[in-house]
Amino acid sequence: MIRSFLLAASALTMAIPATAQTPAPTDFRARTPEQEVVYFVLPDRFENGDPKNDKGGLKGDRLSTGYDPTAKGFYHGGDLKGLTQRLDYIQGLGATAIWFAPIFKNKPVQGPKGDESAGYHGYWVTDFTQVDPHFGTNAEFKAFVDAAHARGMKVYMDIIANHTADVIRYREGDAASYAYRGKADYPFSRRGGLKGAAINPGFNGDADFSPENWARLTDPTFAYTPYVPKGEETVKVPAWLNDPIHYHNRGDTNWVGESSLYGDFVGLDDLATESPRVVQGMIEIYASWIERFGIDGFRIDTARHVNPEFWQAFVPAMLETARAKGIPNFHIFGEVATSDVDPALTARWTRIAGLPSNLDMAFAAAAQRVVSGKAGTDVFARLLEDDALYEGGAPAATRLPTFLGNHDFGRFSMFVKQANPTASDEELLARVALGHAMLLTLRGVPVIYYGDEQGFVSDCNDQLARENMFPSKVAVYNDNDLIGTDATTAQSNFDPAHPLYRHIAALVDVRQSTPALQSGLTRIRHFSDKPGLLVVSRFDPKTGREVVLAYNTSAQPVTNTVAIEPASLKFAPLAGQCPVEANAPGSVTVTLPPFGFAVCAAKD
């Protein structure tokens, strides 16, 4: 079995000739966002550099420490020291920037009795000013950032302003079911609903952002009666976060309408992000990480669950702080989550919230459908045409972080496998490789989800898509059949010889030596409503020279004539099988094997 994997692997790599790589700007600060290739990692699941911090300095069983390496929902021991030790591996893949899940101090364990899990993912913050002891110390974070910078690599922090850990409870109801209480039935002006006593006199609603107005909101009991349980009164840092007045306190979100902005995410305390105190507090928290550590960007969690006006204030403050620190190309990208091919949603949030960029959820959804053969290549054509919707238009779309799968939705290989349950290992490898070829050559900033380059295949989404790179003790991970290797997640998987690692590294070389693939705009050339050929052109931003990109999403060979620029008469193959010359000015014939792709640069 392994033999055929290796044959497929060498075929993949052979398709891409070695290129003379243009050196990246020696000053990494000078690189623009679209010049990066991002590697996204969950520190808990990557490498354990220090077993002494595995329990975060806490004592007791897993419900106290959060540590249980046999359970998918608990800490496994990975940390910043481990991440720092593996920078060679990450850089060897071609990544120029690392985005890591939040490393702020979390509530170690939360959830209803019998259904607890740990903050190993980092999204349950209590102390926004320090590193979680499971991951190390602030000094170890500095060592990590400095080590990355010394290699010319950038560091993107994952941040949250929508909520804190679940600490606040309500006197009414049951913690497992705090139903959402909306503004119509529970206005700010009455205690506990329309029949309640008048409270907060003069408060003009939360769309009046003036400090004078917010000074009149003094009583947080309009919907529920919030309180902080004994022993947790000062658990949040900075201290202002411990006062329930700074939260929405309307119960759990049902993800629709008003509750999408105001509701608690399964209990996570939803901040009143309309309040000028909260805006100022969050600006201070995150400006401090830029100032103290000189990081290079933010990925913003749950961005669409915060009112756009918050981001309109927050984003310029962060960019200004970064500029003052000598970081001119600070990148900010939001999570506007959807599993639909819905670029309008992603684009809308660049317009209403002033977010410079958003994770390209539509790209991931399109890649999952198109490369797995569930949809025609027309889905990608439509996606790319909709680039005009973004604030700043198509040039802004070149800065969207694109991805194939992630820690929430599941891995790309899982979608491919689900759509092709009887596919051979060779076919799965070929489709996954094709997906990565599209990710690394189409417009956007490619984000590689850690482990994809080792052929990891998640069983499902969320916890099941967060396998360990270091030896795992989780049974539901270790029985997975990884793509392109006979290895399992029970062993260490930092193999630079894995066919997908080599495939990605080779494509990154092509991308980094071809400016058209970084910031070039796109012209659609060929697509259909069935699996088959997708062809687009991208253009060198300085010379205007064309690069033709072709992908075959079908299991059959394809040949088609394709319209191109009349000036593009001869081609150099940067990857795959390219035509030598045009048929006539304005026409070329593209031929690709099943699941093949080609990157063809017009030349003199």
Write out the catalytic residue numbers: 301, 335
Q: Is 44 an interacting residue with respect to Ca ion (CB under 5 A)? A: no
C-beta closer to Ca ion: residue 225 or 591: 225
Burial of residue 219, with CB atoms counted within 10 A of its CB: 0-12 exposed, 13-18 middle, 19 or more buried: middle
- Provide the minimum distance between the beta carbon of 53 and Ca ion in the complex, in angstroms, as a whole number: 5
Query: For residue 477, what is the enclosing H or E element?
Result: helix 475-478
Whichever of 40 and 311 has its CB closer to Ca ion, that residue is: 311
Given 65, 106, 162, 485, the residue binding Ca ion (CB under 5 A): 162
Closest CB 47 distance from Ca ion, rounded Å? 9
Return the number of the residue (53 or 472) whose C-beta is nearest Ca ion.
Answer: 53
Out of 33, 69, 77, 405, the only residue in the binding site for Ca ion (CB under 5 A) is 77
Which residue, 77 or 484, is less far from Ca ion as judged by CB?
77
Encoded one letter per residue, x for contact with Ca ion by CB under 5 A and - for no contact, window 299-318 reads ------x-------------
Three-state secondary structure of 94-161? CCCEEEECCCEEECCEECCCCCCEECCCCCCEEEEEEECCCCCCHHHHHHHHHHHHHCCCEEEEEECC
Query: Least Å distance between CB 273 and Ca ion?
Result: 6
The structure tokens listed for 589 are 């014939």
Task: Please state, in angstroms and rounded to a whole number, the distance separating the CA atoms of residues 192 and 194.
Answer: 7
356 contributes a contact to Ca ion by CB under 5 A: no
* Closest CB 410 distance from Ca ion, rounded Å: 25
**For Ca ion, the closer CB: 264 or 387:** 264
Is 50 among the residues that bind Ca ion (CB under 5 A)? yes
425 binds Ca ion (CB under 5 A): no
Query: Distances in Å between the alpha carbon of 252 and those of 21, 169, 177, 255, 264?
Result: 51, 11, 8, 9, 4
Considering only 34, 44, 79, 546, the residue that binds Ca ion (CB under 5 A) is 79
Separation between Cα atoms, residue 357 and residue 299, nearest integer Å: 9
Nearer to Ca ion by Cβ, of 261 and 500: the residue is: 261
Cβ-defined contacts of 210-214 (< 8 Å, 24+) = 210/276, 211/276, 211/277, 214/275, 214/276, 214/277
206 binds Ca ion (CB under 5 A): no
Beta strands 117-118; 109-110: pairing state? antiparallel
How many residues belong to the site for Ca ion (CB under 5 A)? Answer: 13
Question: Judged by CB under 5 A, does residue 252 bind Ca ion?
Answer: no
- Under a CB-based contact definition with an 8 Å cutoff, are residues 129 and 285 in contact? yes
Q: Does residue 269 interact with Ca ion by CB under 5 A? A: yes
458 neighbors 467 (Cβ within 8 angstroms): yes
Q: Which stretch binds Ca ion (CB under 5 A): 25-33, 71-79, 140-148, 582-590?
A: 71-79
Under the binding rule (CB under 5 A), the answer on residue 53 touching Ca ion is yes
Can you tell me the distance from the alpha carbon of 267 to that of 167, in angstroms, rounded to the nearest whole number? 8
C-alpha 371, offset from chain centre: 20
Q: Where does this chain bind Ca ion (CB under 5 A)?
A: 48, 50, 53-54, 77, 79, 162, 166, 168, 267, 269-270, 305
